[in-house]
Amino acid sequence: MGLNKKKTTKDVMTFHIKARECAVYIKKHSSALVVSHIDADGLTSAAIMGKALERAGLDYDIRFAKQLDGAVLAGIADSNPELVIFTDLGSGMLDAIKSLKLNAVVSDHHQPQGTFEHHLNPHLFGFHGATEVSGSGVTYLIASSLGNNADFADLAIVGAVGDLQHVKHGQLIGLNRQIMEEGAKNGVLRYEKDLLLFGKQTRPIFKLLQYSSDPFLPGISGSEDSSIEFLKKIGIRQHGEKWRRWIDLEAVEKQQIVSSLFQFCLSSGMPVSSIQRLIGEVYTLLREREGTEVRDASEYSTLLNATARYDHADIGLAVCMGDRGKSYEEASALLNEHRKNLVEGINLVKEQGTVRMEHLQYFDSGNKIRETIVGIVAGMCSSFVNHDMPIIAFADSDGGVKVSSRGNYELIRKGLNLGNAIGEAARAVGGTGGGHDIAAGAFIPCNAKNEFLKILDSKIGSQIR
């Protein structure tokens, strides 16, 4: 079933039946190769499937891919695995998987292109893959049919938060919410309304303000002195020589900070939609030690991105599988480097600005921003670029150019679908691409950038008109 036949109603029962069918098919085999994407959602997907296969008594190996293309698929086919399980990728290459006669199960949430028998994807059942269930959530549903694996719900929520599935509504919805509630019922996680600024478990409170990028706090974000001054002005002070973390504050102090931030943002003329992003649902992993990155779903997902996007997916996977020793220490070191690179990337875009076309804006980072994080940088730049058109980002890649794109929900309401536009423009210039309506990516040939932009600008224009 392709997207042109997508059901208009959400078919939960049929979705779960298909998940069970995929699980039954997996159980017919003795071993599997799990192939997953290199981000937080992909890492948690791989870990969920790996743990579930282990419990089911199947041998397995895990491999990661930046992008699933013909060369990667050919390499997989050459290794002749008994079964391949694609997690958080595969839906954009269904016909290629079929043509290579790969014995496979595809567990993904990106917009499908083509058809495949053992393919579980929310879009085929009326669900939105960018907001209602992530790749790790889809994989969790299969894992739940492989055995009693309800304790993997916390990893599925980390993947969903890493995929920013909670951002549009300020909380998880749809199948994500069902998984979240199952995790809460089983005591592996807790959800509540709280401040959404990053670092509540691990950072001194002034750092939450200093590094706030969504929303960007004018006159505070980026300045340690201004962040500390803001807190002192409202009566929040150090204890001894150290600043406390958000989790160390009394409830009345938290309320004081939130109220003052709202007043500050209103007086600064910030849009109400940006101010509302200060508060939302947060997810705490109850089996993890308080004060660590893995206690908070948002911090956990960033920790994972800091491993896989720097060619150390094995470290992130080990953390997901439970290693809180050497791998966790290595992941924490990579996280510090990741944060530094993101700040440098954002500063680069601020300095060089974006180029505006008729229906899109773009920046070309060349080799100055790593291809695996250029999409994250593009998303974090939303606080200071124009909101009336999507942002397209380019970064040098081996053998070509990596393209990442980010839109917003106002543009989605007007008809924007970056997954379709990016995919079609990439194929038109000999590349591959796809994704979600609000965020998508591609790989294109080095000499195709200008032609790609021209085609993409036209396609986005036709969508929004």
Domain boundary among 128, 162, 187: 187
Evaluate whether residue 24 is within a structural domain: yes
With contact defined as beta carbons under 8 Å apart, do 406 and 385 qualify? no
What pLDDT is attached to residue 383? 65
The answer to whether position 312 is within a domain reads no
| Residue 143 and residue 25 share a domain | yes
* Domain interval for residue 380: 353-464
Amino acid 74: pLDDT: 97
| CATH code, domain with 181 | 3.90.1640.30
Q: Does residue 365 lie within any of the structural domains? A: yes
Q: What is the mean pLDDT of each run of 10 residues along the chain (465 residues)?
A: 45 96 98 97 98 98 94 96 98 96 97 96 95 98 98 98 91 97 98 94 94 81 91 91 94 96 92 85 98 96 94 97 97 91 89 96 97 92 82 95 92 94 97 92 96 98 91
Same domain, 243 and 122: no
Do 255 and 372 lie in a common domain?
no
Q: What is the pTM of this model?
A: 0.87
Query: Within this chain, do residues 48 and 133 fall inside the same structural domain, yes or no?
Result: yes
Query: Domain for residue 298, yes or no?
Result: no
Considering the domain architecture, whether residues 17 and 119 belong to the same structural domain is answered as yes
Q: Is residue 372 part of a domain?
A: yes
> Domain tally for the chain?
3
Same domain, 71 and 151: yes
Q: Are both 89 and 222 inside the same structural domain?
A: no
Q: Which of 236, 263, 285 is the last residue of a domain?
A: 285
Q: Is residue 290 part of a domain?
A: no
Residue pLDDT, tens place only, 13-50: 999 999 999 999 999 999 999 999 999 999 999 999 99
Domain finish residue from 187, 212, 229 = 187
Inside any domain, residue 63: yes
